[in-house]
Structure 1
């Protein structure tokens, strides 16, 4: 059972990486088209800026939510690394629970805002803003799960590398 779950999670993680790679390709392609249209053909187009911006936004939040591993996150750990392991666990539990609390408390308002934005559309592509902003909901839920797992591991003294929550 555990092996099957790991295989499924591994497969899902690779698909999330594929989506992130596609977003990077879309951003780069739009950037190249924008340069060619503006400087080679003297016919600037606005949709390329919109595609680049949206691909960047989705790439950052999608990647942070579903692709970035815990050990790949950037941290300022001068204090964290210099204290004993027991105090590190306290730090991890407190910060994990704080992140879970902040994202958990803000989640209903985020859902309301994203749902409300269905009335707005992007300028050039005409995409509904609720669809564009929905990636933040994925990000927020992933942060709740990931930091809940960090706090759980700290409280139960379980090494974080034994399983992945997000």
Structure 2
């Protein structure tokens, strides 16, 4: 079940990126090939960019692939890493959980506004930020559980 959800998330992320690429090519062709810029392509590209970045961070890119500064992590012992993982996950997960209600209120409030050209509700444009916050809470809870069990605390050599 979890694997199918990950495949669906990857498929959606890939589809969003492909759509962004197609819109970008249309934009370049219309602007420089025909000297007729299309206003909808600018807006669609911005909306798709927001979705690609936030959806990718929330659901596609695994935690181990995110950029980290692990100089301190690699220089401390196992127990210190366990404390650092739990404290860091509590901080990220706690702040994300605290931000969800206000973020949802804002996103829901923005439903009354639409984008100037396409008329897409700003609620749908900003929705992936709420998804990102929810994903951070889930990932943090998972990381805390793993840290308590002693999983994933080894020093890593990243290149």
Q: What is the TM-score of this pair, normalised by structure 2? A: 0.91
Q: Whole-Å Cα distance in 2 between the matches of residues 126 and 71 of structure 1?
A: 38
Note the 1:5-154 alignment, pairs <5 A: 8-154=1-147
The CA deviation at 1:159 is: 4.3
Q: Whole-Å Cα distance in 1 between the matches of residues 39 and 76 of structure 2?
A: 52
The CA deviation at 1:152 is: 2.1
Is 1:100–1:144's contact at 8 Å kept on the other side of the alignment? yes
- Which residue pairs with 1:163 in the alignment? none
Unpaired segments ≥5 residues, structure 1? 1-7, 161-166
Larger RCO of the pair (alpha carbons < 8 Å, separation 6+): 2
Q: Whole-Å Cα distance in 2 between the matches of residues 70 and 107 of structure 1?
A: 20
Is 1:34–1:48's contact at 8 Å kept on the other side of the alignment? yes
Q: Whole-Å Cα distance in 2 between the matches of residues 50 and 20 of structure 1?
A: 19
Count of aligned pairs: 153
CA deviations on 1:129-157 (whole Å, 9 max, x unpaired) are 01111111111101000011112221332
CA deviations on 1:11-34 (whole Å, 9 max, x unpaired) are 111111111111111111111111
Is 1:80–1:88's contact at 8 Å kept on the other side of the alignment? yes
- Aligned-residue CA RMSD in angstroms? 1.2
Unpaired segments ≥5 residues, structure 2? 154-159
